Amino acid sequence: MRSATVLRNICALVALVLVSSLHIAQAEPYFAVREGLKCASCHFNPAGGGMRNAFGNGWAQSALPARRIEGTGTDAWTGVLNSFVALGGNLRANATYTDVPDAAATSEFELEEMRAYLAISAVPDRLAVYIDQRIAPGGSQNLEAFARYTTKDQRWNVQAGQFYLPYGWRLEDDDAYIRQVTGINFATPDRGVQVGYESAQWSAQLAVSNGTASGPEPDQGKQVSLRAEHIQNVWRFGAGFNNNHTDAGDRQMQGVFAGVRTGPIAWLAEADYLTDETLGPVERKQWVGLIEANWLVGKGQNLKLTAEVFEPDTDVDEDEQNRYSLVWEYVPFQFMQLRVGARIYDGIPQNDLQNRKIYFAQVNGFF
Amino acid sequence: MPRTTSLGESMRKAKLLALCTSCALAACAGDGSGLDENGRPEGESSGTLQPNFQSIQDNVFTPVCTGCHAGAAAPLGLRLDEGASYALLVNAPSVEVPSLQRVQPSNPDASYLIQKLEGTAAVGARMPLNQPALPAETIAVIRQWITDGASNNTGTGAGGSGKSRFELVELTAVSPARDEIVPGPVRDVVVASNVELDATLLQSSVIELRASGGDGTFDSGNERAVPVDATVRSDRPSVLAITPRLAPLSADSYELRISGTDPVAMADLQARPIDGDGDGAPGGDFVLRFTVEMTQ
């Protein structure tokens, strides 16, 4: 009797994965590239990140892990408590070894973050409020809090409040140059309004925000951020634009990003060109680029190899920086990911921090 | 679903994978010739970290810390954005360990900022949170600034020292900002002036803090006075911390009024009253209104 119930739940999950295409998904963009799905297939957020929807949770239990383990109960977690309320969460704990030239190496255990997500859909699929709250370590910090209205055909949506800005690939790694240098990452949500468009092959967001990364607005200038992506089963291509107008000067960036699946390898690439009037007396022009290969070694196992480049000032020679990462990601069973990796920074020799090496192991629990 | 591969095929693809990704961004790192440690051309001094507040603000606080420590919801009320950081650091008690000041001039070892950067603080995680620790050289420069007295050389805004004989005495709300909604409880209100104030005047009743009584207005008759203590956190320029005497401020709207008019006006050492109302002439009360909201 019990096994029949479990089997029925598993079948329901698999069916959910197979038939659902109403939402967008993306905790790591390579998942979406590998599966030929949009970011919103798995996440509440149209551009990815944050809470997973029922499809995302179902996929995380059936397709993602190496195997599935069973608990004492028979129910399977979907995150959806009822038609109106959905919950989720993430916990990342790290062991990190950092080797900086000419300095004593350091090693530490750390709780990187514990985040909780809550979505309340007062009108299911149409009207919702959403909260992404970082609750540890340290004090509680709100990352996202917005209200969203979606049209009946699910194509258009408008949200207002505090949210992550749309631009480029929304990688989990905030230290990637395309996240750190652009300044659009999980640490820099902003307050404003966003309009989104979703169709079978297009996903686009346009946001107008304060441009202060949730800080106080000291001037009249605003930030405009645009992300548009065309999705096919095997490949996708997108472009981004961002302009932040402040009294201290303008900061503008534009870039392209793409993904393609070649057999077991999901490729991601992004290149951005930035002009920044706020870094000094003259405008500074910068480049950042990323190529990432995600090799599906076996069920539940991914080998990620990333090469990045950062050109801090096109008018200055020999200041370029590179960053290389090799990360093995293993999902032994549902809702648990283990990551072991190394990140090698390669910069100018007179700056030790630009030549550090980081080795890490991470436990990522999510639901 | 994507397919998996055999071992031999996998090895070949692994080599190809490594080759492709390594070479795709074939740009090598710069050799640094002609550059300083910040990657800027030698002689361009603005980017080099110096043991003074402006340099530390530009090279550490703004680029590294303000990702989190900015705005009304800055962790533990510590804003490190330019204009607020000095007033909230120097001689300001730490929230996590109130017996320690965030920056105690001339005493880096007792400064909580240094303990947080070096990872020796008794409470909480090492800063910057979830990022590599600052280089030892950078922390050494911050230590040197504190050892030298933690003075402010920004010359503008809150904490600015660009004093001229004829300039007005102006006050700036540092934390909370004007009309700001801040998470409670609020332990102190920080106001800075552009010149040194006459601290002896703080003994009189030039500072008044009122709670609205819950209706958000200050003319309905249900306001209540909040007894406060005022302390000077730094002299040049003056940073005033107005602290509720009984308990931190809880949810309500508040009005802080610093008198700039007779009979007793807040003034600088030359007895020039503050330009509290910002009309370009000495005199007028400085009024700061803000709202405290409890998050839980």
Residue A330 has pLDDT above 80, yes or no: yes
List pLDDT tens digits, range B39-48. Answer: 878 766 555 6
- A17, HSE (Cβ side, Cα atoms, 13 Å): 17
**H helical segments located in chain B:** 7-24, 53-56, 85-89, 112-118, 136-147
The answer, yes or no, to whether ipTM is higher than 0.90 is no
Asked if B64 has any chain A CB less than 8 Å from its own CB, the reply is: no
The encoded tokens of residue B197 equal 């104030």
Q: What predicted TM-score, i.e. pTM, was given to this entire model? A: 0.63
Which of A218, A154, A165, A152 minimizes the C-alpha distance to A191? A165
Q: What are the percentages of helix, strand and coil residues in chain B, rounded to 5? A: 25, 20, 55
Could you tell me the strand order of the sheet in which B189-193 lies?
B171-175, B189-193, B239-244, B228-234
Domain boundaries, chain A: 2-366
**Which residues 6+ apart lie within 8 Å of B247 measured at CB?**
B185
Domains, chain B: 46-147 (no CATH), 171-293 (2.60.40.1220)
pLDDT at position B156 is 39
A-facing residues of B in 7-26 (CB < 8 A) are 10, 13-14, 17-18, 20-22, 24-25
CATH 2.40.160.10 fits A2-366, yes or no: yes
Is residue B209 a contact partner of residue B226, using CB atoms and an 8 Å limit? Answer: yes
Are residues A34 and B22, on separate chains, in Cβ contact within 8 Å?
no
DSSP state of B62: I
The three-state secondary structure class of B231 is strand
Are residues B73 and A318, on separate chains, in Cβ contact within 8 Å?
no
Are residues A318 and B33, on separate chains, in Cβ contact within 8 Å?
yes
Are residues A348 and B76, on separate chains, in Cβ contact within 8 Å?
no
Round to whole Å and give the CA distance between A49 and A27.
5
- What does the pLDDT average to over B251-255? 93
pLDDT tier for residue B134 given thresholds of 50, 70 and 90: confident
Pick the range with the lowest mean pLDDT from B143-157, B165-179, B218-232, B244-258: B143-157
Which is higher by pLDDT, B94 or B159? B94
Q: Mean pLDDT in chain A? A: 87
Q: State which residue of chain A sits closest to B17, comparing Cα positions.
A: A293
CA distance A71 to chain B (A): 26
Are residues A318 and B131, on separate chains, in Cβ contact within 8 Å?
no
Nearest to B35 among A140, A305, A319 (CB): A319
Q: State which residue of chain B sits closest to A353, comparing Cα positions.
A: B135
pLDDT at position B7 is 53
The three-state secondary structure class of B241 is strand
Nearest to B32 among A112, A307, A350 (CB): A350
Residue A38 has pLDDT above 60, yes or no: yes
pLDDT tier for residue A234 given thresholds of 50, 70 and 90: very high
Which is higher by pLDDT, B133 or A354? A354
Round to whole Å and give the CA distance between B227 and A161.
36
> Chain A to chain B, count of Cβ pairs less than 8 Å apart?
168
Are residues A350 and B125, on separate chains, in Cβ contact within 8 Å?
no
B32 contacts in chain A (CB < 8 Å): 318-319, 347-351
Residue A126 has pLDDT above 60, yes or no: yes
Nearest to B133 among A106, A216, A291 (CB): A106
pLDDT at position B70 is 82
Asked if A247 has any chain B CB less than 8 Å from its own CB, the reply is: no
pLDDT tier for residue A1 given thresholds of 50, 70 and 90: very low
Are residues B70 and A214, on separate chains, in Cβ contact within 8 Å?
yes
Is residue B197 a contact partner of residue B240, using CB atoms and an 8 Å limit? Answer: yes
CA distance B261 to chain A (A): 29
**Which residues 6+ apart lie within 8 Å of A200 measured at CB?**
none
Is residue A59 a contact partner of residue A366, using CB atoms and an 8 Å limit? Answer: no
Round to whole Å and give the CA distance between B13 and A294.
11
Asked if B120 has any chain A CB less than 8 Å from its own CB, the reply is: no
Are residues A263 and B132, on separate chains, in Cβ contact within 8 Å?
no
pLDDT at position A16 is 40
